[in-house]
Amino acid sequence: MEATALIATNRKARRDYQILETFEAGIVLKGTEVKSLRQKKANINDSYAMVAGGEAFLCNAHVSPYEFGNRENPDPLRKRKLLLHKREIASLEAQLVQKGLTCVPLRLYFKNGKAKLELALGRGKKAYDKRETIKKRAAEREVARAMKGRAK
């Protein structure tokens, strides 16, 4: 049985992007970043992943400095290397070249004591797509409410 502890989620990702494929990646962390993550002091809302030189990186993810750390605390917004298999990186790079595709993190969590990141390959939604999704969700909610009323 795998023990997972959620650290942070990117709720905007599913609203703003049509998710095509997901990957699980490890993250290379420095010093006190792990302790900071255990305190759930991370924000991945504005972050994204990129591939450069055959390696994948997480950019713009904020991991707050550990409050009991010292001056050796790493930069909160630094690029962090992602640990993926070569074939996954090659596939990701090939798909990112396509027009309109981007790689966004969905959630950051601990799995068996290791920090993991769930990445998604997605296509940006247009404004009308977002409105359509909201309408569908509202309709489903109304149906569920009506069915709940009938059950009584």
The reply to whether CATH 3.30.1490.190 applies to domain 4-125 is no
Contacts of residue 38, Cβ cutoff 8 Å, sequence gap at least 6: 110
Q: Say what the pTM is.
A: 0.76
Confidence of residue 26 (pLDDT cuts 50, 70, 90): very high
Beta bridge partners of 8: 108
Give the mean model confidence (pLDDT) for residues 28-47: 87
Domain range summary for the chain, segments of one domain joined by +: 4-125
DSSP states along 98-111? STTEEEEEEEEEEE
Residues 56, 50: Cα–Cα separation, whole Å: 6
- Contact criterion met (CB below 8 Å) for 27 and 117: yes
Residues 79, 38: Cα–Cα separation, whole Å: 19
Closest CA to 29 of 11, 46, 45, 41: 41
CA of 84: how far to CAs of 4, 19, 29, 94, 150, in Å?
19, 19, 15, 15, 50
**What pLDDT score was predicted for residue 11?**
86
**What pLDDT score was predicted for residue 5?**
84
**What pLDDT score was predicted for residue 83?**
92
- pLDDT of 72-125, one tens digit each? 777 778 898 999 999 989 888 888 887 778 889 999 999 988 889 999 998 887
